[in-house]
Amino acid sequence: MDSLRDPFEEARKRCPVLSTEFQGESIPMILRLAEVREAAKNWETFSSDAPRRVPIPSEESVRSVRQYPIETNPPEHTEYRKIVEPFFRRPLLPEVKEKLDVLLGKLIGEMLAKESFEVIQDFAIPLQSHALTYLLNVDAKEAETWIGWGVHVFKEGDGESKGAFMERYCQQMFEAAEENPGEDFFSALNAAEYQGRKLTLEEKLGYANLAFAGGRDTIIQTVACILGWFAEHPEGLQFLRENPKSINTACEEFFRLFIPLTHIGRVCPHTTDVHGHEVPPGGRVSLGWFAANRDPEVFDNPNEVKLDRKPNPHVAFGFGIHNCLGAHHARAIMRGLVTKLSQKLKAIDLLDFENHVEVEKDYTRTGGYEHLKVKFQSLES
Amino acid sequence: MAKVTYITQDGNKVEVDNAEGNLMEIALDNAVEGIDGSCGGVCSCSTCHVYIPEEWKAKVGPGNDDEEAVLSSNEFNTDRSRLGCQIEMNEDLDGLVVEVAPSY
């Protein structure tokens, strides 16, 4: 499976850091797990207080707002994060798990009835969009709007106008919630207080931007990769059907290996030596989550899927204070998905696919799918 | 059966009789505030970080290298730190009291 190849294998052996550049900007990428963790923890040296510059490439041309809370540092980050934590913990609630379970059963049932289907468009995008309504506690009909947004909320086609469209949509949602407040994410942010004052519109839009953009292509691609892997490994379905206690560890292994986000950036406010690479003030560093997750010093046979791998100290959701707010959500979706697939399916037939390929100056990573056509084989047939 | 008590950051006590499984699973089943157990117990997240009282340290024992590596990057790590997911309850630990460590 191409997604299991590690393009950083040789570079990691030579040095903990890959000296490289992105869009002409010199950015050293940290490759080893211990060093990535250390940098992620050290937010004073490797800062997230960098609006629209935490992602690599930067998102200065595709969104106008800072993403909250991720693009802030302590002490502000702590209070900003606390405001939305209750929503991002909703996937732990039994009633939300139940709704997700019903959704997965319905979607898998619909796909079983088809001769074949395209995973991204027909399955993963509807799954992600509907699941997000449970997280944000908004009306299920909103999912229909979000389904039309595609895999990325910024990147497809004219990214600039697409990003602006989403900001307008969110602004309308905040206005509607102001008129008619409820228990939803938008109403909660309208009512929230930060340092004794109401949130500004820019802050609210920044939270919404993260909620919509941060967990979209990541969840969609992880779902697709899991289906793609089971298509090549029907024995995995059987193993998990017979060993349901391994579903959580299997999902952690999928997160480790299929992490869609190769890396994320940090800004160095001062001249910083990054394992022999000098970063000037305002320059950036890349935290190589993908490369760290394949570190052979930590993971035996790092490019192999071991469904019962334990321990599995991966950094698929980042590390430290800025770790992924949506981790509960992603875990709830994947655990529910893998449970249902193992209960319902004998096999997944792989009919056609095209991998997504990330081409950068010093590496080419094949991971995820542009499209993936499969057929579900029912266990009952 | 073994009993375990969690003391949360707010000072609340959660007592669990007939505790089975590891300290992370037991905490989740009993809604102990401050224990998320996000990674399901594979030593990836440290969201089940607890402090073991001095008098229980010998009985509970130290963590392995993987656990130490995760804890070493946690700013609230102390010499009493353990990950709840790596501690299986058993009769020898009957009466154990753990403190939920602070989180970010």
Give pLDDT tens digits for A333-347. Answer: 999 999 999 999 999
- % chain A with pLDDT above 70: 98
pTM of the model: 0.94
User: Tokens 């309308």 belong to which residue?
Assistant: A172
Please, is A290 exposed, middle or buried when counting C-beta atoms within 10 Å of its C-beta (0-12, 13-18, 19+)?
Answer: buried
CATH architecture of A2-378: Orthogonal Bundle (1.10)
Give pLDDT tens digits for A254-285. Answer: 999 999 999 999 999 999 999 999 999 999 99
Domain ranges of chain A: 2-378
pLDDT at B72 (0 to 100): 78
pLDDT at A371 (0 to 100): 97
Q: How many CA atoms lie within 13 A of A10 on its CB side?
A: 4
Give pLDDT tens digits for A58-99. Answer: 998 888 899 999 999 999 999 999 999 999 999 989 999 999
- Cα distance from B100 to chain A (closest Cα, Å)? 17
**How large is the average pLDDT for residues B75-92?**
94
**pLDDT: is A181 or A319 the higher one?**
A181
User: Tokens 């990836």 belong to which residue?
Assistant: B44
Domains of chain B: 4-100 (3.10.20.30)
pLDDT at A226 (0 to 100): 98
pLDDT at A225 (0 to 100): 98
Contact A143, A181 (CB under 8 A): no
Q: How many CB atoms sit inside 10 A of residue A321's CB?
A: 18
For chain A, give the number of residues. Answer: 381
How far apart CA B21 and CA B1 sit, in angstroms, is 12
Out of B40, B41, B73, closest to residue A319 by CB: B73
Contact A379, A343 (CB under 8 A): yes
Q: Which residues contact A28 (CB under 8 A, 6 or more apart)?
A: A17, A18, A19, A20, A274, A275, A277, A279, A285, A286
pLDDT at A55 (0 to 100): 93
Report residue A229 as tokens. Answer: 């892997």
On whether any CB of chain B is under 8 Å from the CB of A313, the answer is yes
Q: Of A48, A72, A63, A69, whose CA–CA distance to A284 is shortest?
A: A48
Nearest C-alpha in A relative to B38: A328
Cis peptide leading into A126, omega within 30 of 0?
no
Give pLDDT tens digits for A286-296. Answer: 999 999 999 99
Q: CB A34 to CB B36 under 8 A? A: no
Give pLDDT tens digits for B22-34. Answer: 999 999 899 999 9
pLDDT at A160 (0 to 100): 58
Query: Which pLDDT band holds residue A155 (cuts at 50, 70, 90)?
Result: low
At position A362, the amino acid (one-letter code) is D
